[in-house]
Amino acid sequence: MKTSPQLASAFSSALLLGLLGTVSSGAQAQTSQPVAQVDALEGLFGVQAGFRRSGAKGVCASGHFVGLPAGRDVSSAAVFSGEQVPVVLRFSVGGGSPKASDKGRSVRGLAVAMTHPGGQQWQMANVSAPVFFVARPDQFAPFLQVRTPDPATGKPNPEKLKAFNDANPETLRQAAYLAKAPVPASYGSAQYWSTNAFELTNASNISRFARWQFVPEAGVVGLSDDELKSKPDDFLADELRQRVMKGPVSFAFQFQLAAAGDPTSDPTQAWPDDRPVVTAGRLVVTAVDTMAGGACDKLTFNPLVLPTGIKPSADPVLLVRAAPYALSLGRRLSEAKP
């Protein structure tokens, strides 16, 4: 893959800062942004030894992806060739606590690593909301910090929370969506979005911007208020295991194509529903790990690992993701799970 100078420089400085952890500027030591982001997750959820700092609760699964001709029309990525491509998957519950309730109105996550027989990988981590909660990477740590309880009161400081929300209203869009959406009844009946935009290029060298989504072929099914009350806090992993034993669980993989002027650098802004949608492939889940651990456990899903035919957009929220993911991976691999 050709890397643009802009991406290369964003990427290398993010990694460098991530590796250094703190940067000395004059007399003052300054925490780098990826460290501040991961520290803020730990501040809100505690240090959960051995677990991902975000999407901590989850389950590994596997299956395959099959590309469709419509996928080849928009991207030359080898995964659209029509061959069966093996995938490692991870379904998760939003937040940094491994004890998060499956009934919570947080996002559910779907992380995917496809390995084409030719060797190219495509990694992604998607959420069950069409928008993300920050428009810019520098909002990530403060968004979490203002929601972190003050040790003196046991509650977030209401003035700081209000001041941040007032100054950054776009960071409330994801929560507004989740407040209205029913809590997913199954990992297999939730819809998952990239929220970040990517640039697709086809074999004729025609490029366009797109976002993607995984749409459950069994339909989007949420829990009613009564069902929600009757469910335990842990049901999603077992439910998926049982569902997959009865038959494959599948998702249509779709690209939503941008029109001229659609924002491609801000994941808090959804594009209008009337944008063309191309069904580019099908994801089939065939196995769910039975115990904590599995093939996804010691991996991180770095959304900048992209095959030829798909490039990152200039969205800064996308471009910074590699460094905090690597940091979180490093921290959890060096810890023993309790």
**Interface positions with ligand HEM (CB under 6 A):** 37-38, 41, 52-55, 58, 90, 92, 109, 111, 125-127, 132, 134, 137, 140, 195-196, 267, 300-301, 317, 320-321, 324-325, 328-329, 332
For the bound state, the minimum distance from the C-beta of residue 89 to ligand HEM, rounded and expressed in Å, comes to: 9
For the bound state, the minimum distance from the C-beta of residue 109 to ligand HEM, rounded and expressed in Å, comes to: 3
For the bound state, the minimum distance from the C-beta of residue 218 to ligand HEM, rounded and expressed in Å, comes to: 20
For the bound state, the minimum distance from the C-beta of residue 26 to ligand HEM, rounded and expressed in Å, comes to: 27
Query: 52 is written with which tokens?
Result: 């991902």
**Residue placing its CB nearer to ligand HEM in the complex, 73 or 275:** 275
**Residue placing its CB nearer to ligand HEM in the complex, 80 or 214:** 214
**Residue placing its CB nearer to ligand HEM in the complex, 89 or 278:** 89
**Residue placing its CB nearer to ligand HEM in the complex, 109 or 281:** 109
Query: 120 is written with which tokens?
Result: 């190219």
**Residue placing its CB nearer to ligand HEM in the complex, 74 or 318:** 318
